[in-house]
Amino acid sequence: MMTLYGAGPQFGLPEASPYVTKTEIHLRMAELPYQKVPAMPDTSPKGQLPYIDDAGERVADSTFIRAHIERKYGVELDAGLDPVQRAQAWAIERMLENQLGWVSAWFRFMIPENFEKGPAHWFDGAPEAMRASLRQKMLENVGTNLRAVGVARHGPEEILALGERSLSALSALLGDKPFLFGERPTGTDAIAFGILAGILTPFFDTALRRKAEGHANLTAYTARMMARFYPEHPWHTPVRANDA
Ligand SMILES: N[C@@H](CCC(=O)N[C@@H](CS)C(=O)NCC(=O)O)C(=O)O
């Protein structure tokens, strides 16, 4: 059976990493059996989660894992989409992974209260004498990456505005459809859900979460995806202030 290496359930989410969530949903969409094992990124061939071990073949990166399972098991997660929809799916996925995902990471790591209650705990199992320096090193690494992709060069309000542009774009693209491309979830829904759930989890109090909560179709969509792919996981649909 295939093994999926991920971060595991945390932060009020069935899986803390949006990219592991993406792969896990792809495996569930493809109805492929797998076992899930918690791992640290440095055990991965590419230094990041997720990766899989499929009968001794190790494949890292959610996009390449998807290509592997589609090729090896003859599944097509975007079946029924025309060439323009497939191009849109790729463009949406890039917006989410290469922009909104980083904005979301900034709110999770760079707001000290969120870092303390969240990622800082990843090192709770390390020897006490090393814990503080491991946490500091991780924070520095994430900070370096956030500057490299450009996000951390802006002020908090500007970062929030960038995130809101992507949330608004995603909300407009979804419209009143149940899933991004219609009645049936396709490949891109997996990462859209992974990133939205990570933003909307009540575990972290962020201005970005409040922006996402302002898009009723995105909160309903996240709850719909959660019920479909993680029916065992408790979730809520936030009530918008002006709906209450
Ligand atoms: N392009 C990768 C991104 C994966 C990724 O960013 N994983 C994070 C966890 S959410 C990670 O392992 N980060 C550790 C690091 O970059 O050092 C994918 O799609 O799988």
Number of domains observed in the structure of the chain: 2
Integer angstrom CA distances of residue 48 from 6, 51, 59, 62, 227: 9, 8, 11, 10, 27
Tokens of 105: 């990471």
**pLDDT, mean of residues 128-133:** 96
Average pLDDT, the chain: 96
Asked if residue 43 lies in contact with residue 76, where contact means CB atoms within 8 angstroms, the answer is no
pLDDT value of residue 243: 47
Q: How far is the CA of 244 from the centre of ligand 1 (A)?
A: 38
Pairing of strands 51-54, 2-6: antiparallel
pLDDT value, residue 236: 81
pLDDT at 242 over 80: no
pLDDT score of 239 more than 60? no
CA–centroid distance, residue 235 to ligand 1 (Å): 25
In a domain, 237, yes or no: no
The whole-angstrom separation of Cα 19 and Cα 68 is 15
Residues 203 and 224 in one domain: yes
The model carries a pTM of: 0.96
Residue 200's H or E segment, with its range, is helix 187-200
Q: pLDDT tens, 92-111?
A: 999 999 999 999 999 999 99
How far does residue 113's CA lie from ligand 1's centre (Å)?
22
Read off the DSSP letter of residue 98. Answer: I
Q: Which domain holds residue 206?
A: 83-232
Judge if the beta carbon of residue 47 lies within 6 A of ligand 1: yes
The residue length of the chain stands at 244
% the chain with pLDDT above 90: 96
Place of tokens 């909307």: 200
Final residue of a structural domain among 32, 54, 73:
73
Query: Is the CB of 188 inside a 6 Å radius of any atom of ligand 1?
Result: no
Domain match, 90 and 66 both:
no
3-state secondary structure of 13: strand
Nearest of 136, 90, 104 to residue 204 by alpha carbon: 104
| Domain of residue 19, CATH code | 3.40.30.10
Q: Is the CB of 11 under 6 A from ligand 1?
A: no
Percent of the chain surpassing pLDDT 70 = 97
